[in-house]
Chains A and B, each alone.
Chain A
């Protein structure tokens, strides 16, 4: 039992060490004294094995240094997936907590205001139309508004309508989830110009439903606990209840899944780079390094080093997630 505990501590330290090394490599890659630049071909050494000359990890079929590409690839992986995971988690937390907290019938606005806002939007749109069809549209909108007003008159002007926050968020999530993650990211990345910012936007836009669903479930669970009821009976406003009393208790779940999100997004980024979409072709990435291995099928060093980098990073991130979820603070 004791050896197992020691083993798991060792594993935890190894994971932390690897991740710290990765961060340092990502941060210092441009200033490290590397003998070669990542995108500079060395035409005297094309696809050479590791430890020839100053190419410690060999070169790819275009003569680019593998070590430099690995380090700059680490930089790309960190600079793309870390902000993407943070933004997707933030967006998911905001939408998911709103959906879980207010459900479908807890944000109510007086129906009068709703109808008035609808009317203003519709009319401002139609008045800006240029062609002759606007008369027809104007008629339709006027008819619809007067119908609404008639119903409101019958029901009394104090009538309120509820905003279906939960349904809207779940529907938006289902929309994104109706195409597999890789395909959706591939399609969107193909539409945009290849750039790190575009890739970041694509990753956030496709990945947020996961964290959102998680936070929503967590908020739903906590909302039913007695201390929230106590807070309500004290007359705390909704916003304060949500941000001071519910979200801090979700923090543990969110922080335990964050490393997993980073790992998934690193996998997605490298896959997209491997397929040649998303990042400009001169940006070094582990995926691109592996793609160059297709030009030289027997070059084991081109596959092993980036594959090991991806494997160790993913395992370390999972270990981190395990550590976080076992030690609630």
Chain B
């Protein structure tokens, strides 16, 4: 199993590294341009009422502060003025931004935010504390609901198709629409004001652990519900298709013939086999939930990872954005490896073929 996992990781890691490098290089080359046009950070505040030399000095200082002073990559195009036929490319050695970024990354440092100069790792850690309960809760709810709904998929055609068309309708809506509709229905003084519309509230530090948990859940209920509602349809539809396949098999006829109750036939026999194709969907589920938290946290004003990511994207705060993308890419990597492990555990054929 160790060798199997190592093999998988070695195949998955290069793609992740490459996409992160591409995003890094793109973001840095764009921030060079935006620095020149004064769109980035606080250049504009110093730009007024300053002479040309002062402005240039301020820009150079800002460049050094943001770590944009060094060349971008191992080689770069020489400036047009000096470019003859002989010198169009310039070799920069290891004193370049990319090399520095990689070295920082190997020490698990992600640089500093362009906006408030805080270390990105600390920022991400703080916001992860809010996002993890949200995504973990949503993942647990999705899987639990799919598990609960599975026996009903054996229902006669008419009743089953009602359930499936409801899911089909739900699947047609993007996450932010579902979140807004929930807000309109369940957190609206004109309709039903069951849940708070935004934020996490102010916890009472003197309250007991259980009361604090209840308080947390009360505020997280709607975001978790939105995430669950959106990720459920794909899982159920896949499960349904796999179950249709399995229920036609001979072993199901045998199980029914020996008088097992229908729920047991579903849970113990058909579902176990139908789970295999659904496992691949779990790979999508975790990264999807993390990506979905971008939307949900913005709608419900939660101070988590996703909201920070969206704000960093809107404010051109590239170090934070890159750190967030790195984290999400890692989640996807972990999810893929997790799905492999689950496959390994559930399907003996993979173990035997080793």
Please, what's the 1-or-0 string for A233-271, where 1 marks a CB less than 8 Å from any CB in chain B? 000000000000000000000000000000100010011
- Are A179 and B27 in contact (CB-based, < 8 A)? no
> In the bound complex, how far is the Cα of B172 from the Cα of A274, in angstroms?
17
**Given B88, B176, B309, B333, which contacts A274 in the complex, CB threshold below 8 Å?**
B176
Q: Are B325 and A310 in contact (CB under 8 A)?
A: no
Interface presence of A128 (CB below 8 A) = yes
Q: Of A130, A276, A304, which one neighbours B90 at CB under 8 angstroms?
A: A130
B54 at the interface (CB under 8 A from A): no
The reply to whether A133 and B91 contact each other, CB–CB distance below 8 Å, is: yes
Q: Are B91 and A137 touching (Cβ within 8 A)?
A: yes
Residues of chain A at interface, number, CB under 8 A: 52
- With A130-B86, A293-B180, A298-B188: A190-B173 Cβ-Cβ less than 8 Å: no
Q: With the chains together, A322 CA to B88 CA distance in Å?
A: 55
Q: Total contacts A to B, CB within 8 angstroms?
A: 149
Please state if A180 and B291 are interface contacts (CB–CB under 8 Å).
yes
Selecting from A13-21, A64-72, A170-178, the interface stretch reads A170-178
Instruction: Decide: A128 near B184, CB < 8 A? Known: A179-B332, A180-B290.
Output: no
B325 in contact with A275 (CB, 8 Å): no
Once bound together, how far apart are the Cα atoms of A293 and B182, in whole Å?
13
Q: Which residues from A are CB-within-8-Å of B89?
A: 125, 128-130
Residues of chain B contacted by A287 (CB below 8 angstroms)? 176
Chain A positions 281-315 with a Cβ under 8 Å from a chain B Cβ: 287, 290, 293-294, 297-298, 300, 303-304, 306-307, 310-311, 314-315
**Please, which residues of chain A bring their CB within 8 A of the CB of B87?**
128-130
Of the listed stretches A89-97, A156-164, A181-189, A216-224, chain B binds A181-189
User: Would you call B175 and A275 a contact (CB within 8 A)?
Assistant: no
Q: Are B184's CB and A303's CB within 8 A?
A: yes
Q: Is the CB of A199 closer than 8 A to any CB of chain B?
A: no
Q: Give the size range of B's interface with the partner.
A: 35 or more
Q: Is B93 an interface residue (CB 8 A)?
A: yes
**A137-B91, A178-B329 known; A183 and B172 CB under 8 Å?**
no
Chain B residues closer than 8 Å to A318, beta-carbon distance: 172
Pick from A190, A290, A304, A314: contact of B321, CB under 8 Å? A190
Please classify the interface of chain B as helix (H, G, I), strand (E, B), loop, or mixed, using the class held by over half of its residues.
helix
Does A131 sit at the interface, judged by CB under 8 A? yes
**B352 interfacial by beta-carbon distance below 8 Å:** no
- Contacts A130-B90, A133-B91 hold; do A311 and B176 have CB atoms under 8 A apart? no
Residues of A within 8 A of B184 (CB): 297, 300, 303-304
Least CB distance from A269 to B in Å reads 10
**A-side contacts of B309, CB under 8 Å:** 183, 186
Contacts A/B (CB < 8 Å), 9 sampled: A129-B89, A175-B19, A182-B295, A184-B19, A186-B309, A191-B23, A192-B30, A293-B180, A307-B180
Q: Footprint of A on B, CB under 8 Å? A: 12, 15-16, 18-19, 22-23, 26-27, 30, 75, 78, 82, 85-91, 93, 169, 172-177, 180-181, 183-184, 187-190, 197, 287-288, 290-292, 294-295, 298-299, 309-310, 312-314, 316, 318, 321, 324-325, 328-329, 332-333
